[in-house]
Amino acid sequence: SHRRLYSQFATMSEAAEAGEAAPPTESTPLTASEPSPPADEPTPPTETTALAVTEGGPVDDNTQLVAAGDAGAGGAATWQTKTAEGAKVAAAKTHDVAVKAYAGAAVGAAVAADFTKKHATEFGTFVMDGPIGFRVLAFVGGCLVIGASIRDMVEEIIFTDPFQTFVACFNVFFGTIMILLESTAVFKKTPWRKTIYTQAAILKTTFGRGFFYLYLGLSICAQNFSVFSFWIGVYVIALGGIAIGVGWWTQRSLTKLREAL
């Protein structure tokens, strides 16, 4: 057995020596393998495993991208927060400005309304009554008409002229109406004035009263009364002309005011 083992070992040794010396055949090609790097040398970085040196050590690109994305997201969130806060502040300021503007406009409108109402009332009173000086003159004219008519009436009664007496009575009545219409220049309250305006609406304006005074003055001048009564008639005619002029001017001014508004 020992010889057999020895012979087999010798045969294997010869075969091994014969194999090293024999040329390579096509069936058993030999390829030279590249030498592997030493174990102690570091493996060079590839495209898939690129290394970046940072303060904390080597970090790959994915980690850097994630960190940059987190930083960008944080900045965007901060910008959105500041933008929202700025929008709230701007909206609050805009609301305050709008409220102040609305309040100012309301106050201005109220002042303008009060001013317009006040002046409209004054202008309406002026249209109805006329200037204070004219009213005083008309009030004096009414007193003169009453006095002259009573004097003429007494004279005609003495001379038994019923027609002249009747006309003198009407002149006393018209003179009383003049006093009641123009008494606001002298007295604060006048009885029966509103009743006269209701029954004779034409007498509410200075223009209408001017025609009434014109008629009364012509009526006094046309009668065969005294010279004193004649000149009183002329005076009343002049009052009627002034009243018509004032009434026409006020109506024209009122029309222009309405067109302007």
The β-bridge partners of 52 are: 59
* C-alpha–C-alpha distance, residues 142 and 47, integer Å: 123
Tell which residue, 125, 167, 123, 133, has the closest CA to residue 149: 167
Within the chain, residue ranges assigned H as helices are 2-21, 61-129, 132-158, 162-182, 193-199, 206-222, 227-260
Per-residue pLDDT tens over the stretch 68-104: 666 666 666 676 676 777 777 777 767 666 666 666 6
CA distance 200 to 218: 20
- Global model pTM greater than 0.75: no
The dihedrals phi and psi of 237, each to the nearest 5 degrees, come to -60, -40
What tens digit of pLDDT does each residue of 199-221 get?
Answer: 888 888 888 899 999 999 998 99
**Can you state the angle between helices 227-260 and 132-158, rounded to 10 degrees?**
150
User: ∠ CA 37-42-48 to the nearest 5 degrees?
Assistant: 100
